[in-house]
Amino acid sequence: MFRFIILLLVASLIFACGYTTGTIQKAEKSFIVFSGNLENVKIHIDELESFTPSSGKHYEMAPGKHTLLAYREGKLLLNRIIILENHVTTEIKVP
């Protein structure tokens, strides 16, 4: 009888606690930070709308290959192809 009670107690603990499996996948995102002389600079990334960068601000982007253009008063400063990795912050220095 004692064995039966112990067996019943162990079985109830096993079935009551449950067992789940699975994976957790983090969202894919990368960040760009601009540094250097950012005065009067306009940034164009791929086909996105141009913007004026702020020093120290992180801009979220999808990982992968991107074309980055930087202009100051109509003059091209940077023309780069950048490859962003997942969960990595990339610093772009503007001359």
Domain coordinates in residue numbering, the chain:
28-94
Percentage of the chain beyond pLDDT 90 is: 67
Q: What is the pLDDT of residue 18?
A: 61
pLDDT, tens digit, 9 for 90 and up, residues 38-79: 999 999 999 999 999 999 899 999 999 999 999 999 999 999
Residue appearing with tokens 């699975």: 22
Nearest to 95 by CA among 80, 68, 77: 77
The pLDDT of 24-47, averaged and rounded, is 92
Backbone angles phi, psi at 43, to 5 degrees: -110, 135
Which range is least confidently modeled, 8-12, 69-73, 89-93? 8-12
* Superfamily of domain 28-94, CATH level 4: Carboxypeptidase-like, regulatory domain (2.60.40.1120)
Q: Which tokens go with 57?
A: 């601000």
Average pLDDT along the chain: 88
